[in-house]
Chain A
Amino acid sequence: AAGVIQSPRHLIKEKRETATLKCYPIPRHDTVYWYQQGPGQDPQFLISFYEKMQSDKGSIPDRFSAQQFSDYHSELNMSSLELGDSALYFCASSLGSGGYEQYFGPGTRLTVT
C-alpha cells in the first residue's frame, strides 16, 4: 500500500539559511500534519491542513511557514535556520478532518551546522 512520502530524507543546512521540506500524503488523503522531533525528545505537533486550509497550529516558530497545495501535497518552509532546528521532521496524513488515524512518513532529518 502507498505510504506518505517525504523529501528530501536528509538535509544539511548552515545557520541562517532556508530549507523546504515536502510531503506527499497517501492518495485520497486530504489532511496533512507536520511534527518536529528533536534529539531524545518526543514528537511535537507543528501545524495541520485540511482541504488546503490551515486547521490546527501547535508550537511552530514564526520563522516557519507551511501550505497545502491543490494536489494535497504540503511544504514546510523554514527560514533563518538555527542550530536548535536540527531535528527529524515528520509529516502525517489522514482521510478527513476527524483524524482517527494519522499515517506518518519516514521523516526528513535536518541538520543545521
Chain B
Amino acid sequence: QKEVEQDPGPLSVPEGAIVSLNCTYSNSAFQYFMWYRQYSRKGPELLMYTYSSGNKEDGRFTAQVDKSSKYISLFIRDSQPSDSATYLCAITLGNQFYFGTGTSLTVIP
C-alpha cells in the first residue's frame, strides 16, 4: 500500500463550480499535510499546509484534515480557469515527504 493515495483524475468542471480534491494516507504518525499546485512545465507551488484535524481556509481554498479517517481534502470555491493545474497532496513524517500522484484539474470558462 502506498503511503499516500490520490485520484489522478483528470477532473473537468465549469467555471464557478466547487472542486473537491482528496487524498488518503496510511500512517497515522504523519505530521504535516500540504497541498501544492503545479502549472504545466513549472515547479510545484505550496498552496496550503496544516497539521491538525479540521479546516483551514485561505480565500477560495479550504484544506480539510480528518486524522481519524486518514483523509485530507482541498476545496476550491468559485473555481476559475486560472485554477487549471495539477494539485498534489503531500504529507510529512520527520524529514520524509510523501507526495500523491497529483490530480489534473481543468476549469472550463
Do A and B belong to a common assembly? no
Q: Which residues of B approach A to under 8 Å, CB–CB?
A: none
Q: Which residues of A approach B to under 8 Å, CB–CB?
A: none
